[in-house]
């Protein structure tokens, strides 16, 4: 699979006021994982200038005048994305943090319908404030609107360190009853592994001095030590595991082509908990043997077609990412998409064409 994606994923952060959107964004910036562009209504307490100096975030755009989903001129978001998607910035992802009043369905629509050719929808992450829900004491209903849960690609149950594990499980059950098996990941202080949200190109580390991101990481660790009075064990009683313990990755690599119909069935009806599917595939049908790049997140599916690199062998390489999935079953589902029928009728490729991004 190519180390560099053709289009930059635009990830929307949604959630009520105080749920932890800014905390999660700050965590992504502190990790120094990849190069991130930021679109935000108000910079607030994110020290964007410091990150610009550090070189780990190359650009940031501020959009004022209310919620992003209520923009009187939607092209304002497109202009921000166009600026951040410039090739010279070499970004791995763009994160859009909306105000706590934004409607996630409309925000997702704005990103999906963007006319900026170098970006693609990277999913909508809804941050759920578990502590606030627990304080209210209403344990039979969700702390956020059901529609917000339905439109989200991924739910981050934030502040689990402040709530007893059985209460977190109770909230998970409430959400499942409302929207089914939605991918969910618990978090404290917004600490979600960036690899769950986007892929970053490996770049040489700066040498000769301690980077600002390293200093910020040390500062955060010291703050947590003073705030909690002790270092947390990964996996203590309140679920303080490292973020990467909460998601799984399943890969299949084969020289076989895919069956278009079976592949679409998998992408459109993914197993419970499966958040993203990405990779490259090929179809053994006249006129369609190009390299097909697959990107699927939430309910969004897209293909990009292009030539194979010179001398490259045609292969199918797919990666599925999710939480709480049966890895063996997911791998079996992916392998079931492979085809050993030989040359296919080109008409069987037609269903894929409606998902081709131009």
Q: Say how many domains are in the chain.
A: 2
Residue range 264-307, pLDDT digits in tens: 999 998 888 899 999 999 999 999 999 999 999 988 999 999 99
Higher model confidence: residue 335 or residue 5?
Answer: 335
pTM: 0.80
* 65 pLDDT above the threshold of 50: no
pLDDT at 316: 97
Mean pLDDT of all residues in 15-34: 84
> Is position 35 within any domain?
yes
Higher model confidence: residue 275 or residue 29?
Answer: 275
pLDDT at 241: 41
> Is position 72 within any domain?
yes
Higher model confidence: residue 351 or residue 144?
Answer: 351
The verdict on 332 and 349 lying in the same domain is yes
The set of residues, in sequence order, having a beta carbon less than 8 Å from that of 33 and lying 6+ positions away, is 194, 195, 200
Round to whole Å and give the CA distance between 52 and 37.
10
- Per the CB < 8 A criterion, the answer to whether 258 and 342 are in contact is no
pLDDT at 129: 93
pLDDT at 30: 79
The verdict on 241 and 251 lying in the same domain is no
Domain boundary among 217, 245, 273: 245
The verdict on 217 and 299 lying in the same domain is no
- Picking from 7-11, 98-102, 129-133, 309-313, which range would have the lowest pLDDT averaged per residue? 98-102
- Per the CB < 8 A criterion, the answer to whether 37 and 84 are in contact is yes
* 313 pLDDT above the threshold of 80: yes
The verdict on 84 and 205 lying in the same domain is yes
Q: Is residue 319 classed as helix, strand or coil in its secondary structure? A: strand
> Is position 55 within any domain?
yes
Residue range of the domain that includes 257: 247-353
* 230 pLDDT above the threshold of 80: no
CATH of the domain at 320: 3.30.1220.10
Confidence of residue 337 (pLDDT cuts 50, 70, 90): very high
Round to whole Å and give the CA distance between 136 and 177.
19
Mean pLDDT of all residues in 180-185: 89
Q: Is residue 179 classed as helix, strand or coil in its secondary structure? A: helix
């Amino acid at each position: 699979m190519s180390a560099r994606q053709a289009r930059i994923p635009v990830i929307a952060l949604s959630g009520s006021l105080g749920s932890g959107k800014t905390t999660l964004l700050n965590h992504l910036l502190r990790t120094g994982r990849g190069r991130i562009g930021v679109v935000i209504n108000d910079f607030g307490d994110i020290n964007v200038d410091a990150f610009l100096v550090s070189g780990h975030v190359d650009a940031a755009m501020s959009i004022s005048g209310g919620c992003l989903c209520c923009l009187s001129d939607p092209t304002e978001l497109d202009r921000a994305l166009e600026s951040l998607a410039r090739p010279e910035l070499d970004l791995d992802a763009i994160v859009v943090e909306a105000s706590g009043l934004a409607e996630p369905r409309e925000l997702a629509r704005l990103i999906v319908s963007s006319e900026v050719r170098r970006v693609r929808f990277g999913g909508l992450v809804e941050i759920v404030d578990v502590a606030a829900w627990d304080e209210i004491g209403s344990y039979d209903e969700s702390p956020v609107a059901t529609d917000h849960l339905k439109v989200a690609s991924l739910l981050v149950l934030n502040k689990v360190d402040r709530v007893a594990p059985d209460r977190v499980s109770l909230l998970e059950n409430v959400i499942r009853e409302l929207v089914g098996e939605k991918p969910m990941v618990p978090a404290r202080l917004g600490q979600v592994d960036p690899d769950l949200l986007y892929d970053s190109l490996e770049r040489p580390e700066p040498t000769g001095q301690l980077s600002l991101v390293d200093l910020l990481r040390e500062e955060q660790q010291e703050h947590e030590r003073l705030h909690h009075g002790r270092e947390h064990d990964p996996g203590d009683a309140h679920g303080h595991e490292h973020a990467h313990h909460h998601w799984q990755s399943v890969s299949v690599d084969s020289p076989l082509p895919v069956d278009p119909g079976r592949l679409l069935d998998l992408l459109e009806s993914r197993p419970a908990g499966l958040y993203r599917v990405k990779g490259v595939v090929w179809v053994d049908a006249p006129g369609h043997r190009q390299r097909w790049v697959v990107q699927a997140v939430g309910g969004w599916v897209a293909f990009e077609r292009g030539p194979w690199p010179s001398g490259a062998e045609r292969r199918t390489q797919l990666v599925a990412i999710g939480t709480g999935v049966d890895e063996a079953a997911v791998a079996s589902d992916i392998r079931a998409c492979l085809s050993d029928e030989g040359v296919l009728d080109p008409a069987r490729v037609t269903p894929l064409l409606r998902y081709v991004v131009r």
